[in-house]
Structure formats: C-alpha cells, structure tokens
Amino acid sequence: MRVIGIMSGTSLDGVDVLCAHFYFKNNGWQYQILSAKTYPYSEMWLARLQDLPQQSAQNYAKTHAFYGRYLGQLVQTFLKETGLQADLVASHGHTIFHQPNAGFTAQIGDGAALAAYCGLPVLCDFRSMDVALGGQGAPLVPVGDALLFAEYDACLNLGGFSNISFKKSHMRLAFDVSPCNLILNKVAQTLGFAYDNKGALAQSAEPNLALLAQLNALPFYGLTGAKSLGIEWLNQHFWPIIEKGETLAETELLATFTQHIANQVAQVINAHAIKDVLVTGGGALNDYLVQQIQEKTAAKLIVPEIELVQFKEALIFAFLGVLRINNQHNVLQAVTGSKQNHIGGAVYGNFNLLEQ
C-alpha cells in the first residue's frame, strides 16, 4: 500500500506530510519513503491553534472542520508537487486537549472534511479508543518502533515532548519522558529565533543549579508505568516554577532546560540498561542536547539520515493506518496502560476501493 501520513506536533513547526510504500516481506513489515515535506503554518493558523484551547465551543467545532479541509488541501498539493498517487491517508491531527486521567483527548482535523477535500479514504482519531479503554492515549508510535525498527534497543523521539520506546522482557514499553522542544522553542522565540539552532544559545551559558534541582524534583518523574504529558501539565506544573523563581537570562534558561531534558532522558536509558538508541525528532538536530545526553550515558545514540529524523512520526502514523486497514492491533496495552491491545482509528471515505 502507498499511504500518506500526516503529523502535526505540539511545537507547531508545521504539518509533516509523507508518502510511503509498505509491504510485507520475510515475515516482517518493510517500508520505503517515497517523498516527504513539511508545510509551515501561516501566521493565521499559528495564532488560531495556539489560542484554540481558550476559545468557545463553537470556535472549536468550526476550527476542527476547517483544519480538516486544510489538511485535505495539503494532501492534494503534496500529490501534485510530487506526482505520486496514494491509496489512503492516516492523520494524527493536531492535539488541543490531552487529559486522559479525566477521560478525554482531542485532536482536531475532521476526518470527513479531510476525506472530502483530498478525495482519498482517511483514517484519523487514533487516540480516543485507547483513552476510552482506560489508557493514556499515548504514545502510539511504539508499535511502529517494534515492527519497523526492531534492530534498535530503543527509539527516542525529541519532539515537543521527549518520549522513549524500548524492549523489556519480551514486551514493548514506552512513555513520555519530559518536555523538550516546546520549552526550548518558547524561550528561543523570546530572543527572536524560531528555535535554538544546534543548541548554540544554550551552550553559551551555564545552567542554574537551583532551578535545575526544582525541575528534576517534579512528581511526574517519579511515576512508573504508562504516563504521558500535555500542554496542560506544562501550564499547571512546569511554567509556575519558572515564574515564581528568580529572573534568569534566556540563555541561562535554555542551558538549564537542556540539562534538565538530558538528565531525564539519560536517567531512563541508564535505568533500563539500554545499549543503543535511535534518536529522531527536531531535537535530534540539537547537537548540544544530544551531546549532553551522550555524556550522561554509555548507550550508543544513533541519529539517522535527516529524512527519518524529521518524518519518523508521520511514517509511523501512516503505518498505523496500514495496521488499521488490515485489522491488526495498532495500540499496545503495555505502552498506554489501557485494558487491552486494540485497533484504533476512525474511518472516513470509501475503503471498498482498496479491495479492487
């Protein structure tokens, strides 16, 4: 199958659109990335997505529909630009609310609108079934890690939040580790930069040890088992520590946050005696962050080719769509804490075409 994967992360870098060919060979799933591109958000969409959690229910519903249209139009643009054809679309959507302990999660991007505007069958809303089954609704990538990247002990994603997936006692375990690019980008943007390029700003300063100790003591890091983070957690637990403390220079904050992320990631790697780690996500291009993690662990950190660094999550959401169409489990109980392994994803459009 040729599948388009769509991913929008919490750091609002843009919409990742990828087309990959998936096939089953030698008793395992294989993939080939045919093309991939990131479409940056316009100022209008950035403002709309950032403000949406505080907007009215009517504005939420309207944005959900219009964002689905927007994604459908991006798919059409992508196919025209690449000259490719695809069988279906698997979309993550954009997370606006994520409160699994309260029983809900919400990713906008109406599947019906997306299907209508791109003209292809669509799979979306991969998280809701897991939350309904008592799970965290995240992370969902580990099933792809297990089936597409089994040669690595662990897969680390340094995105808006950092999360890790690894093999343990013949099981796949995974969880969110810490905030990552969301906090780094926010500080870099106050200095007029979209992000801290290669970690140069953080590297120019020393971390504040008092603040670092406070951040490392956050209760989330003491939790075990399935656990996930959302923007709500940042607003309730992380940023108040910064606001109540002494005023620090932005570079000092960046140095402190970088050390904090590296501490938490390395602690997990070391606690589980992981030997090699595939590192992807925007943070994999932050040389200073990767260096700081490497200095704190003996595990081998492997940063792959740029295409996989930037588009691995879009690739795996495309793969979740393949599993969904083939009626195979695409969400793992051991990872999310739900009642059972299950098949997630809502279906829109005419999937009978795939059987012809």
In this predicted model, what pLDDT tens digit does every residue of 135-150 receive, in sequence order?
999 889 999 999 999 9
pLDDT tens digits, 96-112:
999 999 999 999 999 99
Residue 157 CB partners (closer than 8 Å, separation 6+)? 139, 141, 163, 164, 280, 281, 312, 313
pLDDT, position 352: 65
Residue 45 CB partners (closer than 8 Å, separation 6+)? 70
Enter the pTM of the model.
0.89
Tell me the DSSP string of 152-167: SSEEEEESSEEEEEEE
The whole-number average pLDDT for the span 244-261 is 96
Dig out the tokens for 240 from the structure. 């108040």
- CA distances to 77, 105, 134, 164 from 102, rounded to whole Å, are 38, 9, 10, 24
Indicate the burial class of 294 (C-beta count within 10 angstroms; 0-12, 13-18, 19 or more).
middle
pLDDT, position 20: 98
The whole-number average pLDDT for the span 323-351 is 93
Quick check: helix, strand or coil at residue 2? strand
The whole-number average pLDDT for the span 14-42 is 96
Pairing of strands 161-168, 154-158: antiparallel
335 and 41 Cβ atoms separated by less than 8 Å: no
Q: How sure is the predictor about 226, in pLDDT bands with cuts at 50, 70 and 90?
A: confident
The whole-number average pLDDT for the span 77-98 is 97
For 171, other C-beta atoms within 10 Å of its C-beta total 12
Residue 250, amino acid: E
The whole-number average pLDDT for the span 167-174 is 88
Output the average pLDDT for the chain.
95
Dig out the tokens for 324 from the structure. 């969904």
Helix or strand (DSSP H, E) at 82: helix 57-82
Dig out the tokens for 182 from the structure. 């969301």
pLDDT, position 13: 86
Dig out the tokens for 326 from the structure. 């083939």
Q: How sure is the predictor about 356, in pLDDT bands with cuts at 50, 70 and 90?
A: very low
pLDDT, position 245: 86
Q: Which domains does the chain have, with CATH numbers?
A: 2-137+313-355 (3.30.420.40), 154-298 (3.30.420.40)
Does 354 have pLDDT greater than 60? Answer: no
Distance CA 336, CA 312 (A): 20
User: What dihedral do alpha carbons 290, 146, 139, 104 form, nearest 10°?
Assistant: 170
pLDDT, position 139: 87
Residue 296 CB partners (closer than 8 Å, separation 6+)? 262, 263, 266, 267, 270
Distance CA 211, CA 208 (A): 6
pLDDT, position 169: 83
pLDDT tens digits, 280-308:
999 999 999 999 999 999 999 999 999 99
Helix count and strand count (H, E) for the chain: 14, 13
Does 350 have pLDDT greater than 90? Answer: no
Q: How sure is the predictor about 225, in pLDDT bands with cuts at 50, 70 and 90?
A: confident
